[in-house]
Each structure stands twice: as structure tokens, then as C-alpha cells.
Structure 1
């Protein structure tokens, strides 16, 4: 839904004729669009940046189109790091949208550290369900940040499990 720009962000709600405050409900700084909500918002940007660092990817967060192009090129294949990145990407989008809903409708907000823990938990739980993972030593090292300690086909994936 996020990739297809089908989520009801405030800019879309306005195009449907609804009267809503334009400002992003997570940061209250800029008009809320998909681009801003998932990439441009300081709240979301902090989450993405920490996810990238956890995966040993040291680069800045760019715009939505660039991030999508990067994801399409880097998140394919069966290597452990590609699997972890795909899981983290999906969990991040889900958790940011969940946080948006919580703030918008329940007026509750979690700190980015809590949201990151939810993302790590989602990745960890999914990794625990995998029976086979194609991994190299560098990918296993990179996986340690997510808490996996369960043995998966002779590979120890530490931070997630």
C-alpha cells in the first residue's frame, strides 16, 4: 500500500475533500505526504537511519524514489543480509504506519527506540521461523544486531533470536 501510495495520508485525504490539518502528525513540522511520512519526517528518518546502521549500511536516508530504487536493487536474493533487510524494510513501513494510526486516532506516541524494538522483534520472530538461510560470515555478523541466537542450518544468527 505504501509503495503504491494508497495509504490515506493527509495529502490524500484532502484530495478526497476531507478537512484535515496538513501537518504531519508525527513531527508537526511539514505537510504530510507519503514521501514526508516515511522518509522526510525526522521521526521516520531516525528509524530508517538506525535500521541501516544496524545492518552495517552507512549512508544517509534519501528521498522515497531513491530509497525504493535502492530497496529493489539490494533486497533481492536469498542471502541472509538480503532477507534481514527485506524483513526490516517491511517491518519499518508497518511500524511507522502503526505509529501514525496510534498518534492520529488514539493520541498516543511511542519513542523511536520503542518502535525500533518492535521492528527488531518482528524480524527476529520471522527469522526464527526460517529453516534454511544462505549465509556467509559477513552476513551472519551483520545479523547479530537483531538478536538471533538460535542455530539455523549450522549458522548462528545472533541478535534477533
Structure 2
């Protein structure tokens, strides 16, 4: 009934993730390039102002927004250090490729990484929307503490990764 569909390489990031369902929904939209970023809205004729609302430096698109933006890169760098992962952060496609290659196993470190990835993407998207639509801004340190607190709160309910946190 379902047919022979092609398996996407990022499926392990979604389906074996202990993240909150709304986090996973935003990740799913991002992985399918369906989030309403400014570059997509410009194609629809909705906006002509393309500057990233988080850093106010470059034009916003999905490749830039989540890991290359100065604001987001600072958050991601500290969250990688919190997980004791020593690597440089890259652009969207580089991070997703690295995650699907190295963090697809069922070891606790990979499970925590996947939760941090999806939690960060969700909270960056919410911060971006708050800055655009409500003129509210949270700083980088607040975002990091908030993401870690939510990851810890969510992860401690699962015996398998609770000890890792």
C-alpha cells in the first residue's frame, strides 16, 4: 500500500529522537526545506527585506539561518562543547550530513546529540519568529541555558539517556 519509497538519509534524526513532537515537526519542515524563511517569502512576493533577524548581517535562508548565522553559530558552538563534541560548526547541509553520518547509532551520546540538534533548530526558529513578529529578543546565553534545561528535563524521563545528561 505504501509503495517503494526512497529512504531519506536523515530518517534516523527524526524517528529515533526523544525530542518534543513540535521540535520534530519543525525539523521535518526544515529538512524538507518547507520553513517560511525570508528567501522563500520573497519568491512568493511577501517580503523584500531579506536580512537575517538574528544577526542583521546577511540574507536569511535555511542554509544560513541555523548554523552559519553569527548568533546561531555561537549557540551551536557552546552546545557542542556541552556535549563534549570537538568539531567546527558549518552550514546547514554540512551539519545535517555530519549528523546523519556520525550520530545515527543508538549509543547514548548520539541520542543526546539528536535531541540537542532538534531542540536547537526549534528554539532558533522560535527566536527568529519572536524577533520578526513580536519584537522580542533573547540573548545567546539565555537561549543556551533554556535549550539545555529543556533537553535535560526531557531526557531525564528516558532511562537510557538520563545518565548521560
Range into which the TM-score falls when normalised by the shorter chain: 0.7 to 0.9
For structure 2, the residue ranges without an aligned partner over 5 or more in a row are 1-28
Contact preservation (8 Å) 2:71, 2:140? yes
Which of 94-103 and 19-28 deviates more?
Answer: 19-28
Who is 1:51 aligned against?
A: 79
Distance 1:19 1:5 in 2: 18
Who is 1:76 aligned against?
A: 104
RMSD: 1.4
Higher relative contact order (CA 8 A, sep 6+): 2
Who is 1:96 aligned against?
A: 124
Deviations 1:57-101 (A, max 9, x none): 122111221111101112222211111101000000001001001
In the TM superposition, what is the alpha-carbon distance from 1:21 to its structure 2 partner? 0.9
For structure 1, the residue ranges without an aligned partner over 5 or more in a row are 134-151
TM-score by length of 2: 0.78
Contact preservation (8 Å) 2:38, 2:47? no
TM-score by length of 1: 0.80
Distance 2:63 2:80 in 1: 18
Who is 1:105 aligned against?
A: 133
Distance 1:132 1:64 in 2: 28
In the TM superposition, what is the alpha-carbon distance from 1:19 to its structure 2 partner? 2.5
The partner residue of 1:26 within 54, 61, 68 is: 54
Distance 1:59 1:76 in 2: 17
